[in-house]
Structure formats: structure tokens, C-alpha cells
Structure 1
Amino acid sequence: MNVSVPSDKSTWRVSPFLLLAVAVIACLSVLLINGGPLYYYDTGSYIRQGNVALNTFLPTINEGGDAAGGIRADQDSTATGSRSLIYGIVMAIFFRASALTAISFFHLASVLLAVWLLARAANKSLEESRNTTLLTAVPLLIAAITSLPFYIAYMMPDIFAPVLLIVIAVLTAFGRSMQVWELLLLTALAVFSVISHPSHLAIAGLMVPFVILAALSVKTPGRWRAVMLVLMILAIAVVERKAFQIAVETRTDKEVVYTPHITARLIVDGPGMDYLDEVCPNEDVPTCALHEALSWSDDPYRLTVSHIIFERSPRLGSFRLMTAEDRKNVALAQRDFAKAVFLSRPIATTLALAENGYRQILRDSIWMTIPTEQALDNARHLARLDDDEQNLIQGGLLSKDRGWIEAVDILHGTVYAASFVTIVVLLLIPRSVSRDIKLFALFILIGIAVNALVCGGVSQPADRYGARVMWLLPFTAAFLLVVRWSAAPRVVTERDL
């Protein structure tokens, strides 16, 4: 005869769903308090390129006659590929329905799907069952104390960076035992996450060696499943980029180029500027044109990545002041330039990359998600809103007084530090949780570091890039604790009695 240890069945069944409802509300708290979504100055570019793409598929709808194949075409022979066409189309669809707020629910649904699949997979790997709803709700509720609600409400694709990290960690830790439909859902979610922003493709690529190492560390059947799926996700993303390039070049007779963030980063860090000082002037080195443009002003503040890439004033500008042909050549040459700089100064370049990654790890404020009036004006301008459409992009309550941001950052920083310590302690304590659970937590930490390396090294250290993934720390810490403390009641047998 088996006897179950007494438990409050009604509490066990009802409480997790109540917690899940509270967690959902907490995740939407910023959207609700603000009275609408949060906008970035570049939000309008996504809306615009999405509208252009929709015009290509729906030519009867006229949004200004710019049919650039789904991208924002410059007034020269190039078109930018630095934004996601797919995310732009999603945003444009909701924009045309005057329902940009619905994008926040799309973000939330993506997070919930990733976390629910994590909870299912983790539960199956445990000797003692847990409540899947509880495993989903509690970590999300704790994460909602920090930056998660801000990125749920943020009209940018940043939320898909942490979603991607969760998916890769789940595939690595639990993919061996997951069902086919679960793997398909995770793969689809990862594909969308990767193609939603170019930096996500780089993050996924850098995670591959770690996934391979994890497969080599075990001898169980299916250990290569995660490797194959992540490589497939990368392959699909690369094909999407190539198809995008072919479509643009075929339909617009323009060449797709990517904003030269890598070039600007290397110059600002020093190795790139030292290399250019050494080889320029040289007609065989296209980046020498940018080197010359940087000498047009002696203002030291022009040597920041954002000023090099975007500034148009004579005092701070450089790249945008060059001829269209020179801009194109500099953008197309950034890979060759990065290779040449590294080969000529490998130690200095590596140290600069590591320093930027470290600086990025330390930046986790949510202030960049709160739009200024200038950012809102820029978003409206880039979206090319008519006068009667200006009210579609509004700042909301949180933009009116930014004095609260410092206190929130202190709270978030405290939670992040405590969460990191909790994760490390549980990873080090023998048998604190199962090996697979520890592997998941370790991959979240690796993913946060890779995100810092990509964003800090390729672009520039910025709070926006750090805060978008830092909520994974309290999320993971809470997940570990729930797994450790919420085992189902043990079944007692006659022998035990």
C-alpha cells in the first residue's frame, strides 16, 4: 500500500495559476503604468521599412511610393541591412491597425512560451515532479521586479536576445529528452529571435562552441541534438539574410550594406586609428576616406561610435559627411578592415574587445528604454507620420519625470548582484540541483557574457544592451530555488512505515 504525505491539494492546484496571473500583470506593469509602449528613436525606422515591405506585397496601399524591397533605401546606390525586415513587418502590421500596444503582448507571449517550454523540459528531467505552472510563474514574477517589464513594453526587438539565450540554454540542457513538437516550437522561436536583429545572429554564432563543448561532456543518446538544432537555426538566419540581399538588389538595383559599427568601434578603441595612421593615405584602403573625414574637425568628442556613425554636424560628424560612394566603400570594407587591424595589432585589439565586454557587463540601467521628447520626434520623423498620425507615438507617464530612474537602477542592481551570487553558490554546491539544471544556469551566465562581448565589442557599451538580458539573473536564480524547494510530496510505502 502506498500513502501520500498529506498536502493542501486546493492550494497546490489554484495557487500556481494565481501566481501566473500576477506574474503576467507584473510583466505588463510598465506598459500599464506608462499608459502605452516605450519608444526608441530608431523605432520609426522599423515601422517605415515594414510599411515599405508591405507596400511591396500590397501595392494598392500607398505609403509614400517608396518601394525599396522592405528596407530604408538611401538616396544613393546602397540600402541598409542593419535592421530586421521581419520585425519591421510585424511592427508595421500593428501600426497600420493603430495597435502598437499589441506588440507588447507579442513580446510577452514569446517570453511566456520560452519559459513554459523550459519548465516542461526541466520538470521531465527531475526525479521528483514540480508544478510546471509554478516553475513558469515564480521566476517570471521575480524577473518582473527588474528590467523585464521595460523590455516587454519596448518597441524594439531587444526582448528577443534573452529569449534566444533561454532557448539555446534549454536545448543544450534538456534537448536530449524533449519531444519533437517541443523542439519544433523552440526552434521556431529561436529562428525569429535570431532574425529580429543582426546582433542576435552574432550571439547565436558565438554560443555554438559552448554548445559543442556541452555535447562532448556527456555520453547520453541525443547529445548532439542541440548542436544540430542551433546550427540549423544559424543556417536559416543566414539564408534569410541572403534572400533579403538578393531581393533588395533585384528589386531596387541597390547594394545592401551594413552600418560600419565594427569599423567605428576599432577606431574609437585605438587599434583601428593606429592602423589608419600608419597606412593612410592609401587608395587601396577604403577606410582611409573615413580617416580623412575624422581630421576635418579637432573636437575630441567626434571620436565616439555614435558620432562617427550618425552625426551630421561639421563639428562632430565624419562618416555622414562623406560622399555616398565613400560611405558605401567604407561600409563594404569593414570586414576586411577588422581583419587587417587584428592581424597588425592582435593583442591590442583583443584587449580592447575584452575591455568593452567588461564595460558592457557593468551597464544595466533601463534609462535608454524611457524616451525623451527628442527620441519621440525622431521616431515620428523616421516613421514618416502624417499630422493626424502623430498621436500614434506618445511618450506616456514615465517620460514626464525621469527622476525615478536612479532609484529603480539601484533596486535593479541590488537584485542582479544578489541573484548572481545565488546562482554561483548553487552551481558550486554539490547536488544542490541536478546536473541538467546547473547546465541551464551556466549557459544563461555564458549567454549574458556573450551578449556583452557582441554588443560592447561590435557596437559600443550601452545600458540598453545590458539591461535587456540582466533580468535573466533573477529569473535564473528564482528558477534554481523553485526547483530546489518545490518538490512534490514524496510517496511513502509500507516499507517506510
Structure 2
Amino acid sequence: MAAISDLDARPAGRVRTGFNAAEAGLLTGATLLMLWPALYNGFPLIFSDTGTYISQVMEHHLGWDRPPFYSMWLFALDWGRNLWPPTIAQCAVAAWMIRRTQRMVAPRSGIGAGALLLAPLALLTALPWTAAQIMPDIFTPLMVLAFAVLVLDDRVTRRERRLLTVLITLAIMVHLSNLPIYAGLCLCVLVLRRRARRRPEWRRLLLPLAIGVTALVGVNVIASGTVSPSPYGGTFVLARLLSDGPARTTLAHDCPTRHWALCRYQADLAHSADWFLWTADSPLYRAGGPIRLIRQTNAIVRATIAAHPAIVLRNGMRDTLRQLVTFAPGSGLRPWSATAAPTIRRDLPVAAVRAFLGSLQARRRLAIGAPLASIVATVTIAGIIATLGFVLLAIVQAIRPLHGIRASRTAAAPLDDRLIDDRLFFLAVLVLLALLGNAVVTGSLSGPHDRYQSRIVWLAVLTGGLVLARCYAAWRSRPTSTTA
């Protein structure tokens, strides 16, 4: 397993990894390029949930369905002015993490190589549509990259380690789905790194998890007296079980004796999970709302899983597989005139409201054209194939090493020029595991949506680009034959 476990290999000579004016220029250009959907729109992109994230701090309330920490992120950077500072910050952090990941697997990559990687990601993937949106979705892929750098790169400085830890902690705090995804990554590393000589530093990896969980639990203890990172998370599970059918069967069987509040609305439960969760006249709200019903909700969920475990598992696996292949850039570009738009009008200054009302999205003129959608889908699929192919090739070579001159050439090549490199291999594996984990958490609990997988699937294009760059470097370093 030397091909995938030699984590102490280093390139010959000293490699400069410091920050300089050229790097600053590259990241500034990448940030501006990543902002293009918001610049084209005339205002940062919004989603239905954007209104809640704005109002939680501005109007001093805590929503039942999402923590307040992304709201704090918005307010800390913007102070309720126009939403541009947090949007720029999201794009800047994304550009930095992409470049930092590239420097991890290819320490000698220059400004040109950085531009060749960052430009396609900013123009031809779902990344800019996620980074330029006032939503915490961008923190999920950034968390994955930060985790990979902490685990794989022994050149991380103390300052970088602190920044990466803060980024992971923030990601866990701003979106509840990131907590199980990060925990799953930690468990996967425990298995993947068993053969490595360099062991992960678990104290540093678990620190952001501990801080994030403490923050989530703490805010819920203060708000509702409930010791839980997600006290009303069972509502999302119930919505999924009702939509899939098993929970409706449970209600039909148990309502004569249990008298749950939802029993009065059994005839109206055969709708989508989104309708149940977000429609004002759905049975959830007519029966009392998610907060008042949470004890009954958890009881129905437990009864359903106990009575129909095989069906629940089968439906979860089906929704996971559907979510894996369900993605599209710019999901939800409607004006959200009944949700986010009223909050923007109510809480932001007049100048910001005018800019929003003049944006393409508010005027229903912002949409992803079919040609761009096809290009993004093609690039994404190519990235997934390249990433998966590289992982399979590395595994095959590890199990059955190449013989003869080809193997000796690969072993003798510098780190930047070897085709099969341990850091790139583990990065590709972590990305594939993150894609799967994201599909499990979002698809099985909330149901397949374009937005959920789009927020993270561009990581496959990133690793695919790094794989192609490694192939090119290996081809350039191949020995040339001479004749007498």
C-alpha cells in the first residue's frame, strides 16, 4: 500500500508556500470572477431562507428550523447595510481554500496554474452560484477542503491551522447538516489512515466539532431550555416519512388509540415534504406548529421507524442515490416575493432595497440558460469521472504494483510529477466520501433537491482539475529515448 500511504514523502528541495503580492492578485481576481452571478444580477443572490437569516439578528428572534450563527456572520460583516460584504467574503474564502488545496497537492504550482484552476471553477461550475448567494451552503465544501488540508498537509503553519479550525467550526455552526458530514469525515479518516505512518492529530480535528456542538446546544438551551443541537430536527424527518408513506401508515394504525394532533388531518398528508414544512395552511401548522408538536413528532418518528425499518431504510437509500445525481447551478432563482423579499424591504436600508428591487432576480429575469446548464453539467460529470478514475487507478496500482521501467520512473519522479500521489489520492477519496455523505444527510432527511448537491459537487471538478494537472506533469517529466 505504499502508493497510497506514504504520507511523509516530500519533494526535493525547499518549496516556498508563503503569501506574496502575486498570490494576493490571483486571489483578488478569482474573488471578483466568482462574484459574477451577483454582479450580473445587480445584487447578491437570495433564496427563500435568506429572509430568516437576515431577520434573526435584525429582528431579534430565533427560527425553529435553523441556528442563528449565519445571521451573525451576515451582521458582523455587513451591519445590515446591503449584503455585499458577506458575499465578497464568501467568494474570497472559497478562492483561498481552492488555491491552498492546490498548493497542498502541487507545492510548486505557480500563478498561471492557479489561474487555470480557479477560472474554470468560477465560470463553468455551480461554485459561483453558491458562493454569491446569501446562504450558508458554501461553507459545506469549504469545510471539506479545510478538513483535507488539516489532515493531509504537514506544511500547514500555526496561523493557517487556526484559520482552518475557525472555518470548520463556523461551518458546523451555520448549517446543521454540516455536523453529521464532518463527523462522518472524521470516522472515514480513522479507517483510511490506518496504514499511514503519520497519524491524524485528533485533538485538532475534534476541537471544531466540540466547539460547534457546544455552540449549537448552548443557543438552544438559552432559547428553549432544550439540550440538543437540533431540538426540532425530528420535524424534517417526519415530513420525509409522511411524504414517502410509512408515517401515514403509522398514523392510520395508531390514531384510534394515540390521538395525536395530526390525526385530524390524515386526509391532507399525502403531499410533498416541502409542502408540509413550509406551507402556512399545511397540517403541521393547523395542528399547532413544529414547536408545540415536537414531542408528538418525535413519538411518530420513533413509532414509524420501529414498525417499518426496512421500508424507511429502502426509501433513505433511494433518496440518497437520487440526490447523488440531482444537481443544477442556480437553483431557486425566483424573486421569493412572499418570503425573503418582504424581509429585505423591512430590514435593509432604502438604498439596498432599491438595488434589490432593480436586480434581475427581483424582476424575474435571472435564469440559467440551457447552454450554460449543459456546460456546467458536462464539466461536473467529467470532474467526477476523473476523480473516480484516479482513485480506482491508485487502488489498482497499490494492490498490483506496476513492474519494470514505468514503476521505477513513477517512484523516482518528484512529488509534483508523480501520477499517483498520496495527498491527491486522499483528497480525491475525501471528496467522493463528502459527496456521498452530503447525499445521505440531505437526500434521506430532506429529500433530493438540486441545491443540496450543487453546493458541494464542484469539489469533484476541483479534484478532477488537479488530477489532469498531475497527469500533464507526469507526461512532461517522462524520460525521452535517444538513438545512437
Length-normalised TM-score, structure 1:
0.77
Change (3 A) 1:240 1:488: farther
Quote the offset at 1:142 in angstroms: 2.0
Change (3 A) 1:132 1:350: farther
Which of 445, 469, 475 does residue 458 from structure 1 map onto?
Answer: 445
Q: CA 1:328–1:247 in structure 2 vs 1: closer, same or farther (change >3 Å)?
A: closer
1:187 matched to 2:165: yes
Residue equivalent to 2:94: 111
Gap regions ≥5 residues in structure 2: 1-19, 398-417, 480-484
Once the two structures are TM-superposed, the CA of residue 151 in structure 1 deviates from its matched residue by: 1.2
Matched, 1:163 2:126: no
Contact 1:39 1:395 in 2 (8 A): no
- Aligned twin of 1:25: 32
Structure-2 change in CA distance of 1:94 and 1:18 (3 Å): closer
Distance 2:367 2:249 in 1: 41
Is it true that 1:472 corresponds to 2:476 in the alignment? Answer: no
Does the CA contact (< 8 Å) of 1:130 and 1:488 recur in 2? Answer: no
Residue 231 in structure 1 maps to residue 206 in structure 2: yes
Paired position in structure 2 for 1:262: 237
**Could you report, residue by residue, the CA deviation over 1:265-284 in whole angstroms, capped at 9, with x for unpaired residues?**
1121122222332222343x
The match for 2:48 among 36, 41, 44 is: 41
How far off its partner does 1:459 sit? 1.0
- Relative to structure 1, the CA distance from residue 411 to residue 442 in structure 2 (aligned partners, 3 Å threshold; closer, same or farther) is same
Change (3 A) 1:343 1:215: farther
Deviation by residue 1:204-263 (Cα, 9 ceiling, x = unmatched): 123232121122232x13x131x443332221111001210222247xxxx964471111
1:214 aligns with 2:213: no
2:362 aligned with 1:379:
no
**Could you say if the C-alpha distance between residues 332 and 122 of structure 1 is closer, same or farther in structure 2, counting changes exceeding 3 Å?**
farther
Which of 415, 428, 431 does residue 392 from structure 2 map onto? 428
* 2:119 aligned partner: 141
Show CA shifts across 1:141-183 (max 9, x none): 2212111111121011111111112122333333x55343332
Q: Which residue of 1 aligns with 2:74?
A: 91
Go from structure 1 to structure 2 and tell me whether the alpha carbon gap of 1:173 and 1:335 turns closer, same or farther (over 3 Å shift): farther
Task: Check whether the contact 1:147–1:471 (CA below 8 A) recurs between aligned residues.
Answer: yes
Code of the aligned partner of 1:293: Y
Aligned alpha-carbon RMSD (Å): 3.2
Deviation per CA, 1:385-409: give whole Å up to 9, x if none: 0697443643623554356433322
Aligned residues of 1:376 and 1:394 also touching (Cα < 8 A): no
Instruction: Tell me the SS of whatever aligns to 1:397.
Output: coil
Superposed CA offset, 1:5-46 (max 9, x none): xxxxxxxx9998876555333212112211221111221111
Question: CA offsets per residue over residues 36-67 of structure 1, 9 Å max, x none?
Answer: 21111221111110224xxxxxxxxxxxxxx5
Report Cα offsets for 1:117-159 as digits up to 9, x if no partner. 3234334xxxxx5226456443322212111111121011111
Alpha-carbon spacing, 1:230–1:395, altered in 2? closer, same or farther (3 Å): farther
**Which residue, out of 204, 223, 226, partners 2:182?**
204
Q: Number of aligned pairs?
A: 429
- Once the two structures are superposed, residues 91-133 of structure 1 have per-residue CA deviations (whole angstroms, 9 ceiling, x without a partner) of 234554523112211101221332233234334xxxxx52264
Q: In structure 1, how many angstroms separate the alpha carbons of the residues matched to 2:158 and 2:371?
A: 45
Structure 1 residue corresponding to 2:286, chosen from 299, 307, 321: 321
Aligned equivalent of 1:356: 319
What is the CA–CA distance in structure 2 between the aligned matches of 1:338 and 1:169, rounded to whole Å?
35
Tell me if the contact between 2:243 and 2:271 (Cα under 8 Å) persists in the aligned partners: yes
Q: How does 1:263-278 map onto structure 2 within 5 Å?
A: 263-278=238-253
One-letter amino acid of the structure 2 residue matched with residue 212 of structure 1 = L
Q: 1:438 to 1:48 in 2, by over 3 A?
A: same
Aligned-partner Cα distance in 2 for 1:488–1:104: 40
> Residue in 1 aligned with 2:14?
none
Tell me the distance in 2 between the aligned counterparts of 1:309 and 1:187: 34
**In the superposition, relative to structure 1, how do residues 28 and 461 fare at CA in structure 2: closer, same or farther (>3 Å)?**
same
The superposition leaves residues 300-341 of structure 1 with CA deviations (integer Å, 9 ceiling, x where unpaired) of 7x521111112123xxx21011135xx435324545544443
* Aligned position for 2:357: 394
- Equivalent residue, structure 1, for 2:412: none
1:279-303: CA deviation from partner (whole Å, max 9, x where unpaired): 22343x8xx32243232x4xx7x52
Q: Distance in 2 between matches of 1:422 and 1:244?
A: 42
> Please, what TM-score do these two structures have when normalized by structure 2?
0.79
Pick which of 361-370 and 424-433 moved more.
424-433
- Asked whether 1:51 is paired with 2:52, we answer no
Structure 2 CA distance for aligned equivalents of residues 348 and 232 of structure 1:
37
SS of aligned partner of 2:334: coil
Q: Using the TM superposition, name which of 439-448 and 27-36 deviates more.
A: 27-36
Q: Which residue of 1 aligns with 2:382?
A: 418
Structure 1 residues 204 and 387: CA distance shift in structure 2, 3 A: closer
CA displacement 1:347-398 (0-9 Å, x = unmatched) = 21111111111111222122424233xx044213245706974436436235
User: Quick check: 2:320–2:443 contact (8 Å CA) kept in 1?
Assistant: yes
Share of identical aligned residues, percent? Answer: 22
Q: Which amino acid aligns with 2:276?
A: I
Q: Is the 8 A contact 1:161 1:469 kept in 2?
A: yes
**Gaps in structure 1 of 5+ consecutive residues:** 1-12, 53-66, 73-79, 124-128, 493-497
Q: Offset at 1:434?
A: 0.3
Match for 2:68: what amino acid? L
TM-superposition CA deviations, 1:61-90 (whole Å, max 9, x none): xxxxxx54xx14xxxxxxx1x223121022
Which amino acid is the alignment partner of residue 224 of structure 1? P
Indicate the residue corresponding to 1:306 in structure 2: 274
Q: Measured at CA, do residues 42 and 394 of structure 1 come closer, stay the same or move farther in structure 2, by a change above 3 Å?
A: farther
Instruction: Choose which of 83, 107, 113 in structure 2 pairs with 1:100.
Output: 83
